[in-house]
Amino acid sequence: MKQPYYKYSQFLKNKYGEKTYKLPVNLPVTCPNRDGNLGYKGCYFCGEEGADFEMLSEQMSVKNQLLENKAYIGERYGIDNFIAYFQNYTNTYLELNQLKEYTKEAAAVDDIAAVYFSTRPDTVNKYYLEELQKTLAVVSSKTELAVELGLQTVNYKTLAAVNRQHGLAEFIDAVLTAKQLDIEVGVHLILNLPGDERADIIEAARILSALKVDHVKLHALYIRENSVYAAQLARGEIELCSLAEYQERVISFLENLDPGIAVQRLIGRAPEEGTIFLNWDLPWWEIHEDIIKKMKERKTEQGAKFNYLQGKALAKFN
Ligand code: SF4
């Protein structure tokens, strides 16, 4: 059945000509917003364990994590093309030689088509990216480099309010730097951060479209019991939007997004244990299906409102 948005799985199929699966890798890294470089508190929604709840131990080598995940996924889904996905915390926040070693180790594993680094926008620069590209080229001429940038919101006031310690400018700089080097760019957004309105979400779709990023992953805010947000919620200092409002934000986002940008998820997942608010207590797939149903009923789709770039005001003369 045709989906009303460009699925990331299709993007991978178009790119590699076959089904491709991301294999998470857990590195022993931290984050400049937690180790004192930029601050100790972290983003107010960040749980202490980062994003590692469905990953293997960081004590295992990169190679062994990939081999173990590859054997399991490959057999279960009949897939033999993979992406090594450095997922947890801020994966480029390392001394360059160490980062190159991890990159080499990943690229040397058979059937790895790309190495993705999930990171903060203020933790990439041209020199690092060029060096990583060179490192990959030595090990495998076919393995590409990609970055997934955690932006979360384009509203710089919300970025400050969640203690993100970077603004929108750093994100734009990171995307332009990567694009200049022909590096694939993904972006992570949370569509319901307290303080954000639907207009912020629409502007996010427009900015990502103008920057021509390659893919985006959407999340609903979930609250870990050890996070600053958990304390703020208990004190009544923040409010969470309704599920219906979240779904409207996803639809508005998709309508404004360039139809050529792939979408990895419409809603995120998280461990139930230790989480005090997660997806309105509903399974993620139920929320996902409901969004699709609403879009089909309204006969709308990704890109339905993508008409604002390239001199919109000149259209009347054409
Ligand atoms: S940048 Fe990521 S890892 Fe660092 S504090 Fe924020 S959410 Fe946590």
What's this model's pTM, rounded to 2 decimal places? 0.95
Average pLDDT, the chain: 94
Report whether pLDDT(64) > 60. yes
> Ligand 1 mean position to 305 CA, how many Å?
32
> Ligand 1 mean position to 49 CA, how many Å?
10
Q: Can you give the pLDDT at residue 299?
A: 98
> Ligand 1 mean position to 11 CA, how many Å?
27
Kindly indicate the confidence band of residue 318, based on its pLDDT and cuts at 50, 70 and 90.
confident
Q: Can you give the pLDDT at residue 54?
A: 59
> Ligand 1 mean position to 171 CA, how many Å?
15
> Ligand 1 mean position to 279 CA, how many Å?
20
Residue of the CA atom closest to atom 6 of ligand 1: 43
Q: CA-to-CA distance for 94 and 118, rounded, in angstroms?
A: 13
**Ligand 1 and 43: CB distance under 6 A:** yes
Span 75-134, pLDDT tens digits: 899 999 999 999 988 999 999 999 999 999 999 999 999 999 999 999 999 999 999 999
Q: CA-to-CA distance for 119 and 150, rounded, in angstroms?
A: 6
Write down the residue that tokens 């951060």 correspond to: 193
Q: Can you give the pLDDT at residue 10?
A: 97
Q: Can you give the pLDDT at residue 272?
A: 87
Q: Which residue among 30, 44, 46, 86 has the greatest number of ligand 1 atoms within 8 angstroms of its CB, and so is best to mutate?
A: 46
> Ligand 1 mean position to 285 CA, how many Å?
26
Q: Can you give the pLDDT at residue 43?
A: 95
Q: Is 217 helix (H, G, I), strand (E, B) or coil?
A: strand
In the chain the beta strands, taken as DSSP E runs, fall at 21-25, 82-86, 112-119, 144-152, 184-190, 215-219, 223-224, 262-265, 275-277
Q: Can you give the pLDDT at residue 282?
A: 97
**Ligand 1 and 116: CB distance under 6 A:** no
Span 142-167, pLDDT tens digits: 899 999 999 999 999 999 999 999 99
Question: What is the position in ligand 1's atom list of the atom closest to the CA of 50?
Answer: 3
Domain boundaries, the chain: 8-317
> Ligand 1 mean position to 52 CA, how many Å?
12
Q: Are 56 and 69 a contacting pair, CB within 8 Å? A: yes
> Given its phi and psi angles, is residue 279 left (phi above 0), alpha (psi -120 to 50 degrees) or beta?
left
Q: Can you give the pLDDT at residue 115?
A: 97
Q: Can you give the pLDDT at residue 88?
A: 87
Which residues does 178 contact at the CB level (< 8 Å), separation at least 6? 124, 129, 147, 184, 185
**Ligand 1 and 50: CB distance under 6 A:** yes
Question: What is the position in ligand 1's atom list of the atom closest to the CA of 88?
Answer: 3
Residue of the CA atom closest to atom 7 of ligand 1: 46
Kindly indicate the confidence band of residue 56, based on its pLDDT and cuts at 50, 70 and 90.
confident
Span 223-269, pLDDT tens digits: 998 899 999 999 999 999 999 999 999 999 999 999 999 999 999 99
- The sign of the torsion formed by the CA atoms of 43, 119, 179, 80 equals negative
Q: CA-to-CA distance for 204 and 202, rounded, in angstroms?
A: 5
The highest-level CATH class for domain 8-317 is: alpha beta
